[in-house]
Structure 1
Amino acid sequence: MNAEVNVVSERTLHPMAVNGESLQMVAHFLRSNGTRQIRVPDPRRMMIERYPADLFSEDELEALWAVMEG
């Protein structure tokens, strides 16, 4: 009867419950991959990457950058 109680209690766990093995896997993943910071988009770099080289002069890029920054 004791085994039946364990089976019933295992079935009633919350679906999002985490066991020790799962926590170890997450900890290992974080140690291996670290936490990654999200880069703030750089409008100047986006302009350079998006448009063909030499489409804008350096001065035009600086002027556009100033407008985009406000």
Structure 2
Amino acid sequence: MNAASESALCPSAVNHQSLRVLAQWLKHYGSKPVRTTDPRRLLAGRYPQGLISEAEMQALMAVWH
């Protein structure tokens, strides 16, 4: 391994502000239970808005059913 990739694996090389923002997002959204059987709402509640396009959502719904 080279030094650049080794530093990327080191926990101290991680930006602490980014970790704090991620932890807050997970605390707010990550543990929120989705109490529905509607797969579209389930996926929308699980992933951040904009991560899955409408075309991808349609493909996932086709696989789901």
TM over 0.5: no
Q: Which has the higher helix share?
A: 2
TM-score (norm 1): 0.41
Answer with 1 or 2: which has the greater Rg. Answer: 1
TM-score (norm 2): 0.44
